[in-house]
Homo-oligomer: A and B are copies of this chain.
């Protein structure tokens, strides 16, 4: 399809291209625009119908939006900002450089400017910064027919019309009515009689992750947002909640792999930025594994006496790291999904300990038998086997204790993932390994 679009552009068959573009979905149009070069991209955009153009704009990547805004005339820009929902305008302003922001703010009227400033004031990653202010408000004394009239009048500019909010004086949220309820009720029914009054809402200051999880739990299409005086100020729609969930998952993946989370996609992040995001944790972890190295040197006498001890060193450290990584991943993910809570601490600890004993014993038995067969060295088999059980146990316990401790200290549990736990487990397992060796083989 992209090739066809490029061909039509080259051949200047604009009418044909316009007709083709009208049949495509806006999310796809945005992807194609992303692939086009400067002038073609602008031309492509101008070939879209007004409605399609604005919807496509909302799906574009920030860098394409920036290039596009630079090329648009003031009146074209005004068309975009007039039609975008407030949350999208605010997202745009947060992404754009200062000179583009100035142009955007010049293109909106003073009422909009006031709202934008208010929305920009909410902390980043809060419900306030996610929400939009365009929702359908109803009054409790209205009838169903009147409600439909309100929806028909104000609906076109609202992000969703399917959930309507019943407000009392002072913008106090007293009920929720869905269009389904309205459609299935008689025309003269009172809103107050059909509205749902058990309301689940978010505060403007709630964390975006908490909000997104509510969508996951309750299967909402939209969630009302209230301020601390309980006045309704906006709504969050499920498409934005879905984006936040995916963002938060990506962040967890990155943190768990010892990286600073990034805002941009892989390709949009420059090489130096990639390096910067990765080097911090590498330095920290390098420092701690240097300590492990020094610790190893304290047992020089042991591996000088029995050089074969070194042969099991990578296996012990590797297994410890992997076991710790398994447990911490289970616990971090479980906490992120609200399946594991801090009050379950001892339950988790007991479960991991039992899993560790089973896994550790099985691995130790196999390794011990292999060593016996290969080297016919019983003390070595015993040493490695015991060290393996201890390493598995320690790594599984650290793998559940550290993430839960982080949560208790209000840190993100995701930082207590495989990389950090591996280095700590390494240290412990070296210490245990050589001490068991010294003891069993009388090396001191």
Given contacts A279-B362, A351-B274, A358-B272, whether A423 and B311 have CB atoms under 8 Å apart is: no
Cβ-defined contact, A271 with B317, below 8 A: no
Contacts of A72 in B (CB 8 A): none
Contacts of A307 in B (CB 8 A): 297, 300, 304
Partner of A215, one of B162, B242, B258, B304: B242
Cβ-defined contact, B310 with A297, below 8 A: yes
List 4 additional contacts besides A152-B183, A219-B239, A282-B363; criterion CB under 8 Å. Answer: A151-B183, A249-B249, A257-B328, A281-B322
User: Which A-B residue pairs are the 10 nearest by beta carbons?
Assistant: A257-B329, A289-B318, A219-B239, A293-B311, A292-B314, A275-B358, A289-B315, A266-B334, A274-B355, A289-B314
Partner of A366, one of B161, B283, B354, B355: B283
CA distance A210 to B4 in the complex (A): 25
Would you give the 0/1 interface string for A299-314, flagging 1 where the beta carbon is closer than 8 Å to chain B? 0100110011011111
Interface centre among A25, A249, A354, A419 (most CB of B within 10 A): A249
Count this chain's copies in the assembly.
2
Closest partner residue, chain B, to A247 (CB atom): B337
Given contacts A286-B319, A326-B258, A426-B318, whether A278 and B359 have CB atoms under 8 Å apart is: yes
Contacts of A217 in B (CB 8 A): 27
Interface centre among A249, A290, A311, A314 (most CB of B within 10 A): A314
A7 at the interface (CB under 8 A from B): no
| Chain A residues in the interface with B (C-beta under 8 A) | 23-25, 27, 148, 151-152, 155-156, 161-162, 179-180, 183-184, 197-198, 200, 215-219, 221, 238-239, 242-243, 245-246, 249-250, 252-254, 256-259, 265-267, 271-272, 274-275, 278-279, 281-283, 285-286, 289-290, 292-294, 296-297, 300, 303-304, 307-308, 310-315, 317-319, 321-323, 325-326, 328-334, 337, 339-340, 344, 347-348, 351, 354-355, 358-359, 362-363, 366-367, 418-419, 422-423, 426, 430
Cβ-defined contact, A318 with B418, below 8 A: no
CA distance A250 to B252 in the complex (A): 11
Closest partner residue, chain B, to A354 (CB atom): B271
7 inter-chain pairs at a CB distance below 8 angstroms, sorted by A residue, are A162-B180, A250-B337, A253-B332, A283-B366, A292-B318, A293-B314, A325-B419
A348 to chain B, nearest CB (A): 8
Cβ-defined contact, A282 with B418, below 8 A: no
A215 to chain B, nearest CB (A): 7
Given contacts A271-B354, A294-B311, whether A325 and B363 have CB atoms under 8 Å apart is: no
CA distance A25 to B337 in the complex (A): 19
Given contacts A258-B325, A289-B315, A307-B304, whether A183 and B198 have CB atoms under 8 Å apart is: no
Contacts of A215 in B (CB 8 A): 242
Given contacts A245-B245, A257-B418, A358-B272, whether A315 and B293 have CB atoms under 8 Å apart is: yes
Closest partner residue, chain B, to A275 (CB atom): B358
Contacts of A337 in B (CB 8 A): 246, 250, 265
CA distance A161 to B180 in the complex (A): 7
Cβ-defined contact, B265 with A339, below 8 A: yes
Contacts of A254 in B (CB 8 A): 329-330, 333
